[in-house]
Amino acid sequence: MRSLAAVVPLAVLMLVTGCATPPSPAPERPPTSRPTAPDHQGTSPVATGPRSQGVAPPVADPGARGAAGRRAASGGQGGVRLEGALTSPTDVALRWDGKDPQAAGHVLEFATDPRGPYTILAFLPPGEHAYTHPDLIPDTTFHYRLRPYRGRASAAVDVTAGGGPYPEPGPGWSQPRTVPGGPRRALPTGGGGAAPADLRATVVQADGVAFTWTDRAADEDGLLLENRPAGRTGFRVVALLDPDVNAFGLITLPEERRAAYRVRAFRYGTPSNVVELATGGS
């Protein structure tokens, strides 16, 4: 499986990994494509994400686990209602209904403490309404929430990597960073004029692509690098970046070496209700 822009802390990776249903085996992105610590400049922590999004199986009644095995807690103020249930002692199926017409997609997050911090499981397209979180640690309470994100994407650029030879890339070419000297950022995220502009992609090695763009939003919560590999439909998030970043390098997987790429400045919307589920014994 492939992570987005950052690596989950080791303790979280030992605890759980997230996966949609059905899972799709995929090669790992080489270590040079991601930082070695979750607080690396320009990135935000995310769990190991799926390479393809599937549909969760029907939500089964947890049986003897009773109310602790199925809960949709109150408290959310968003337009989406989240529900969940255990389909086995250590597998969780989540479903939601309702939609935000302005949302570009939803972020599914989990925590093992009701106070957080929450870790991102996946960025999901607006038409997705189910997710499975399998193979969880036993006898642990998990808290889930769903947040819409809003914001417009840049125009896409087509990239074809491979071949070469390529000159040796400069040091730090893949690190998320803010290149000074761009125009002043003054537009509110979500407006048409606030979408990133002037996206450029430069192939710097057989599997490496350096991206730069103009950040025109003044109040984004972050930026997303998205791609659509050749032959696929729909874009997916491949990197989550901090606000103000306008340069980043991606080590591509084989299927991503011929793909369309775009960047989105975004803001989070109001979270859904929080679903609390306790896994069973081992």
Distance CA(131)–CA(96), nearest Å, equals 9
Predicted pLDDT at 252:
96
Q: Does domain 157-268 match CATH 1.10.287.3510?
A: no
Q: Percentage of the chain surpassing pLDDT 90?
A: 59
10-150+270-278 and 157-268 have identical folds: yes
**Each residue's pLDDT tens digit, 57-108:** 222 333 333 334 445 444 455 578 999 999 999 999 999 998 788 899 999 9
Q: HEC states along 224-271?
A: EEEEEECCCCCCEEEEEECCCCCEEEEECCHHHCEEEEEEEEEEECCC
Neighbours of 55 (CB within 10 A): 14
**Each residue's pLDDT tens digit, 105-114:** 999 999 999 9
Task: To the nearest 10°, report the CA torsion of 275, 278, 280, 282.
Answer: 110
Predicted pLDDT at 26:
37
169-196: average pLDDT? 84
* Residue indicated by tokens 């997916």: 236
Secondary structure (3-state) at 82 = strand
* Second CATH level (architecture) for the domain 10-150+270-278: Sandwich (2.60)
Q: Cα-flanking dihedrals φ and ψ of residue 12, to 5°? A: -70, -40
Domain boundaries along the sequence of the chain: 10-150+270-278, 157-268
Secondary structure (3-state) at 193 = helix
**Each residue's pLDDT tens digit, 2-46:** 545 332 332 332 333 334 443 333 344 433 333 222 222 233 444
Predicted pLDDT at 184:
67
Strands 275-278 and 258-268, by their bridges, are: unpaired
